[in-house]
Amino acid sequence: LDLQSDADKLKKQYQTKLNDVLNILEHSARLTQDEAKNIILEKVEENSRNEIAHIVRRYEEEARNEAKRKANYIIAQATSRFAGEFAAERLINVVNIKNDELKGRIIGKEGRNVKTLEMVLGVDIIIDDTPGAIIVSCFNLYRRA
């Protein structure tokens, strides 16, 4: 029974001393316990947000780089697959001519007209034995048209 009462007295003394220390701290800091706790929680939350934002930015950058790499790979694959078909279809235009006399005028004396047209237009003009047609060849779609 005496031990129990001694323990209770010590417990009360401890609580009193603890309250005194807390009061002294609150007075010297000019903050209550709750205010100090809120300040600490706000700082922890702010630091956590900054760390999370940094991590998110890093993952976004990694995802962006990976997406670019995959997109370049897909484009390269598609280009290599369809380049042959595109080149054959898109590099030449056939110009229909009413008669072969007009073909002679386009060629000109010693081929001067054709050479001048090729230089001015930036295209290759192919005139062969095909009746009623001249072939215009160029990599640039607008020049060829």
Compute the distance between CA of residue 85 and CA of residue 91 in angstroms, rounded to an integer.
10
For 32-76, write each residue's pLDDT tens digit. 888 888 988 999 999 999 999 999 999 999 999 999 999 998 988
pTM as predicted: 0.38
Secondary structure (3-state) at 13: helix
User: Residue 22: its pLDDT value, please?
Assistant: 86
Region for residue 82 given its phi and psi (left: phi exceeds 0; alpha: psi -120 to 50; beta: otherwise): alpha
Mean local confidence (pLDDT), 79-100:
72
For 14, 120, 129, the CA distances from 108, given in Å and listed in that order, are 117, 15, 16
The amino acid present at 129, given as its one-letter code, is D
Averaged pLDDT, 79-105: 74
Domain ranges within the chain, ordered by starting residue: 91-145
Q: Look up residue 111 and give its DSSP letter.
A: G
Residues 103-134 pLDDT 10s = 888 888 888 999 998 888 888 888 888 788 88
Token pair listed for 111:
């081929």
pLDDT by residue (tens digit) across 132-143? 888 888 766 555
Q: Across 17-26, 62-71, 87-96, which has the greatest mean pLDDT? A: 62-71
Residue 70 DSSP SS3:
helix
In the 8-state DSSP scheme, what is residue 97? -
d(CA 86, CA 92): 11
Q: Does 91-145 carry CATH code 3.30.1370.10?
A: yes
Q: Which helix (DSSP H) or strand (DSSP E) does residue 136 occupy?
A: strand 133-137
Q: Are 90 and 138 in contact (CB under 8 A)?
A: no
